[in-house]
Structure 1
Amino acid sequence: MTIFSYEAWGIPPTGFDPTHTFVRSHFVPPVVLACIRALLSIYSFTTIITCYTWLAHRTATVALKDVNIGSYTLHQSDAAIGQSFSFFTYLTFWSLGFYFLASSIHTFMYVFRGGRTWLHDGGCAWWWPKKPLQLAHSMFYSSVVSFPFLVTIVFWGTMNSGWPSGRFEQWINISVHALNSVFAVVEIILPATQPPPWTHLSVVLGVLSAYLGLAYLTRETQGFYVYEWMNPAHGKWSIVLHIAGYAGGMVVLFVMARYAIVARNVVAERMGMMRRERGGDMGEKGIRLNDGSGTWSSELIISRPVPVRSCPSHFA
């Protein structure tokens, strides 16, 4: 296995996600998982639309600071709508909306199409870039369970300068700086996904690096610093230490998210063992390893039998 192989990035030779872990759960039926994801997508996009509509007609007042920068006030109005696409907070929240939209569609397909999804079989069309899209979805998942925590910790730990008085400011702060991490926790706990491969750590760090370039491009094209710590007036070492701190924090958060998923799968397996020891019937929720075996596989717990659908070899 080389670093340039699909296997190194989470797609084994046996095929992408053979037990459909991205679209099922150890704890709830797939249809419930699909509905939860759809609701989170709706809330994400509703929040963004409401925020932009409000800013188009009013002005929000936000007080911020940083570890070495005193409190300062920002007044945001309609110009902030376009500027929001330069803020990591809003880019992350947009990403959550699109992730939950895509994942809910795949999960509903899994429920209502007998275990078939575009994510897993690509419709068997020769022109469908199946593996690249599967890889992209897997990387998308790794970012969704990592980035929101960085946003939340940085904002409430270093940037927030007091609780705002306006109801709109209070609500939008809670939505994009707190509920975003709640959404990430949902994706860590509910799906039956396997832990992200270690190679995905380079992806999230790469995205952070690309964002740093975007932030300074914003300065050159629009004339403002997205975050005040990026301003060299506060010292170049301040910029270096912020970048190193955020990169180190991202590594820690990725590792914590990864092992939280490991722990979730261990808990789910032990819960399954306890049910078996009590003689509980798993019914539709299990697949026996073979007809003569009395052992159940926790890796193959699904909500319904998945029909085998093969494609011609030249479509694979």
Structure 2
Amino acid sequence: MVRNPFKLGTDLWDPSHRFETSWIISPWALFFCRALISLYAFVTLIFVLAYQCINSPNHCGASQAQFSYFTTLTYWGIAFYFLFAAIHTITYARTGHPLLDRFPRFLQALHSCFYTTIVVYPFVVTIVYWARLYDGHWYKITYEGWSNISQHALNSVFAFFEIVIPRTDTPPPLHILWLIFVLALYLALAYVTEATKGFYTYDFLDPEKQKGWLAVYIVGIALGCVILFGVAWGLIKLRKWVTETKLGRGGKFAAVKEKTMMDREIGGKEAVPLQG
């Protein structure tokens, strides 16, 4: 019988704690890195909202409009992902049992989907911004330079961190459908924004200006997203091969010994807790 690809599994979730461990740094160090990234992202988002409320001609109207931009929404996603990832990591570091393991399976699956968006969407944002939206002139105001670097460059640095440093497994190809679905939801939001607020979040979504190019942009970004998923998948696969197969770096685990830890295997080797 062919297995239903949309059916949630019933086997043990993430048995070797790939979402909460790294091949190179301890769970505590991974927690601090993720927490720091989350803090930076939240500070950036809140500062941008406050700055625009104070300095924009229409005051907080500009801040409200930020929630219609894909860049801003994905950056909120980064902030919350790293917050949740930090929580799961510290609970694992302290007890040997991450909070994620106690979640219902559908929430665990959503966390996996969340991870996939984090290692794909930031690269979409970065490429579209610097290749299509950036006008080639550097910003005269320090705030504008900092905010754009934070949201259109560091976002990809954070995504690359999640590809390289943790022991996460390759995302299922089925997640491509999730990525396209979320992009479709954003496309709907963009046109709802135009209908209710009277502006297009991105000029390439304006059918009057772009004519036939509109479909090219939409399909191109969707295809680019699929390609970037493949790149992220390949990089994760490469990281696993180099670190686990070639270097034998199974991972650094919590100092708290689990009853079942010796039953968990990684790359054919028993997982041994990191000694303090």
Query: Structure 1 length as normaliser, TM-score?
Result: 0.78
Aligned counterpart, 2:44: 47
Equivalent in 121, 130, 135 of residue 102 of structure 2: 121
Contact kept, 8 Å, 1:41 with 1:100, in 2: the verdict is: yes
- After TM superposition, list the pairs within 5 Å mapping 1:179-194 onto structure 2: 179-194=154-169
Amino acid at match of 2:101: H
Aligned counterpart, 1:140: 114
Paired with 1:296 and 1:242, the residues of 2 have a C-alpha distance of: 42
Aligned counterpart, 1:232: 207
Equivalent in 52, 58, 65 of residue 83 of structure 1: 65
Paired with 2:210 and 2:273, the residues of 1 have a C-alpha distance of: 57
Does residue 112 of the first structure (1) align with residue 94 of the second (2)?
yes
Amino acid at match of 2:134: N
Task: Assess, with a 3 A threshold, how the Cα gap between structure 1 residues 76 and 176 changes in structure 2: closer, same or farther.
Answer: farther
Contact kept, 8 Å, 1:269 with 1:298, in 2: the verdict is: no
Contact kept, 8 Å, 1:289 with 1:296, in 2: the verdict is: no
Amino acid at match of 1:4: F
Task: Assess, with a 3 A threshold, how the Cα gap between structure 1 residues 229 and 15 changes in structure 2: closer, same or farther.
Answer: same
3-state SS of 1:214 partner:
helix
Equivalent in 126, 138, 148 of residue 163 of structure 1: 138
Aligned counterpart, 1:151: 125
3-state SS of 1:196 partner:
coil
Contact kept, 8 Å, 2:124 with 2:225, in 1: the verdict is: yes
Amino acid at match of 2:149: I
Q: What RMSD in Å do the two structures reach over aligned CA positions?
A: 2.5
Structure 1: 5+ residue stretches without partners: 8-12, 60-74, 123-129, 277-281, 306-316
Paired with 2:152 and 2:130, the residues of 1 have a C-alpha distance of: 8
Does residue 172 of the first structure (1) align with residue 147 of the second (2)?
yes
Q: Provide the aligned length of Structure 1 versus Structure 2.
A: 266
3-state SS of 1:81 partner:
helix
3-state SS of 2:172 partner:
coil
Task: Assess, with a 3 A threshold, how the Cα gap between structure 1 residues 158 and 299 changes in structure 2: closer, same or farther.
Answer: farther
Aligned counterpart, 1:2: 4
Deviations 1:142-167 (A, max 9, x none): 00000000000000011100211110
Contact kept, 8 Å, 2:50 with 2:63, in 1: the verdict is: no
Task: Assess, with a 3 A threshold, how the Cα gap between structure 1 residues 254 and 42 changes in structure 2: closer, same or farther.
Answer: same
Quote the sequence identity (%). 37
Aligned counterpart, 1:267: 242
Contact kept, 8 Å, 1:201 with 1:254, in 2: the verdict is: yes
Contact kept, 8 Å, 1:155 with 1:177, in 2: the verdict is: yes
- The structure, 1 or 2, with the larger RCO (C-alpha pairs under 8 Å, 6+ apart) is 2
3-state SS of 1:80 partner:
helix
Contact kept, 8 Å, 2:120 with 2:225, in 1: the verdict is: yes
Aligned counterpart, 1:247: 222
Q: Return the index of the structure with the highest Cα Rg.
A: 1
- After TM superposition, list the pairs within 5 Å mapping 1:61-76 onto structure 2: none
Contact kept, 8 Å, 1:41 with 1:101, in 2: the verdict is: yes
Q: Cα offset for 1:53?
A: 1.4
Does residue 24 of the first structure (1) align with residue 21 of the second (2)?
yes
